[in-house]
Homo-oligomer: A and B are copies of this chain.
Amino acid sequence: MSHPIQFNILARDATSWARAGELHTPHGVIPTPYLAPVGTAATVKSVSPRELRELGASLILANTYHLALRPGADLVAEMGGLHRFMAWDGPILTDSGGFQVFSLAPMRTLTPDGVRFRSHIDGSEHVFTPESVMDIEMKLGADIIMPLDVCPPYPATREENERALDLTHAWAARCLAAHDRPDQAVYGIVQGGVYADLRRASAEAIGGLAVAGIGIGGLSVGEPKEMMLAMLEAQVPCLPDGLPRHLLGVGAPEDLVAGAARGIDTFDCVLPTREARHGSAWTPEGRLNLKNARFQRDAAPLDPTCDCYTCQTFSRAYLRHLVKADELLGLRLLTIHNLAFVLRLMREVRAAILDGRFASWRADWEARWPRALPSLA
């Protein structure tokens, strides 16, 4: 089967599983490794498409669950699809809705056919089946879409994870069968909780389907970070090498570097944008809490090495004032900076892989970043 995306691996790191590539989609090229900003409700919170473009963003993620509930997939389709609706002409990925149903929606009932739940917005009842989720995602029209999966909580028993895997695998096949939009690439989602053998089995099962790429789900859901890395180390070698790998919902700086070292190509995460809205700015030396009194009279930019609008224009003292006064502009300026920070981090990772110096780059980076994670074992 031919897919509307094409993934070219341009270089591989000799000291880890890291690789640098280009993922071609109908709406443009994603240089990998790459972190996709999250636009849950068809907007990356507080920033405009123009600002995303200026930040050098390519792929962004939007949430199937949220958009299905509000404003509804039919409305988005009538308005010309998600790209036109939100005025983003770059690549978009929609997730499966599974994680949100299992983490946000009350009154869930899981059956072999799908999941019944109530909206967290207005309590209305909804059903997601593999086929209905494909229908929603085809209406939304993203470049890359995910099949409905079952994402168990952490902790969950082995039996719960086995049952979730069975459904996830069966639903992936049903999603592929139900999908018929040639300009969209359907990924498969692998799960398995924190059970290495289940992770491997899931990789084999999903890797055997006609998927265009792999979404790795169920990580960074509460387990220790070392356990997340161990699961990647178990699962990634079992995935088809040539397919792009997306690690769902992971995006702390230390996870991005550790994930890239374990062969992840794309990530998505709300952390850079959410932490910004909580007054936290990411810099090469770590997180700055702008509410801290030590920034009150600090005339320096957030990060003197950053070329984003925020750092080029405003002082820490001003940003702190905006945060303390609950000013909307403060939320945006910190969001712009945090996105600039992670997008640059990904560009640095990519350049280091392409130049054959990822190991030394990483050692330098870890010496500065306070929460660096272990290297690949």
Docked complex Cα distance between A78 and B42 (Å): 41
Report the nearest B residue to A277, measured CB to CB: B328
Q: Are B318 and A87 neighbours in the complex by a CB distance under 8 Å?
A: yes
Residues of B within 8 A of A325 (CB): 41, 70
- Given A71-B296, A309-B50, decide whether A86 and B318 contact each other with a Cβ distance below 8 A: yes
Report the nearest B residue to A314, measured CB to CB: B87
Residue A75 at the chain B interface, CB threshold 8 Å: yes
Which one, B79, B309, B331, contacts A317 given CB within 8 A? Answer: B79
Q: Are B329 and A47 neighbours in the complex by a CB distance under 8 Å?
A: yes
Docked complex Cα distance between A70 and B330 (Å): 15
Residue A116 at the chain B interface, CB threshold 8 Å: no
Residue A163 at the chain B interface, CB threshold 8 Å: no
Copies of this chain assembled into the complex: 2
Residue A114 at the chain B interface, CB threshold 8 Å: no
Which one, B43, B49, B313, B329, contacts A45 given CB within 8 A? Answer: B329
Report the nearest B residue to A66, measured CB to CB: B325
What's the tally of chain A residues with a CB closer than 8 Å to chain B? 38
A-B contact pairs, 19 of them (CB 8 A): A41-B327, A42-B318, A45-B328, A46-B328, A47-B329, A48-B329, A48-B332, A49-B313, A50-B309, A70-B321, A71-B317, A78-B297, A79-B297, A79-B299, A79-B318, A80-B299, A85-B318, A87-B313, A87-B314
Docked complex Cα distance between A79 and B46 (Å): 27
A166 to chain B, nearest CB (A): 35
Docked complex Cα distance between A47 and B48 (Å): 12
Docked complex Cα distance between A75 and B317 (Å): 9
Residue A324 at the chain B interface, CB threshold 8 Å: yes
Chain A positions 33 through 48: 1 when the CB is less than 8 Å from some CB of chain B, otherwise 0: 0000000011101111
Residue A315 at the chain B interface, CB threshold 8 Å: yes
Report the nearest B residue to A320, measured CB to CB: B71
Docked complex Cα distance between A49 and B50 (Å): 16
Residues of B within 8 A of A80 (CB): 299
Q: Are A329 and B70 neighbours in the complex by a CB distance under 8 Å?
A: no
Q: Are B313 and A42 neighbours in the complex by a CB distance under 8 Å?
A: no
Chain A positions 46 through 65: 1 when the CB is less than 8 Å from some CB of chain B, otherwise 0: 11111000000000000000
Q: Are B297 and A75 neighbours in the complex by a CB distance under 8 Å?
A: yes
Docked complex Cα distance between A78 and B48 (Å): 33
Residues of B within 8 A of A70 (CB): 321, 324-325
Residue A196 at the chain B interface, CB threshold 8 Å: no
Q: Are A75 and B332 neighbours in the complex by a CB distance under 8 Å?
A: no
Residue A359 at the chain B interface, CB threshold 8 Å: no
Residue A306 at the chain B interface, CB threshold 8 Å: no
4 smallest beta-carbon distances between A and B, as pairs? A46-B328, A71-B321, A43-B329, A41-B325
Report the nearest B residue to A327, measured CB to CB: B43
A42 to chain B, nearest CB (A): 7
Docked complex Cα distance between A70 and B323 (Å): 12
Q: Are A46 and B329 neighbours in the complex by a CB distance under 8 Å?
A: yes
A243 to chain B, nearest CB (A): 33
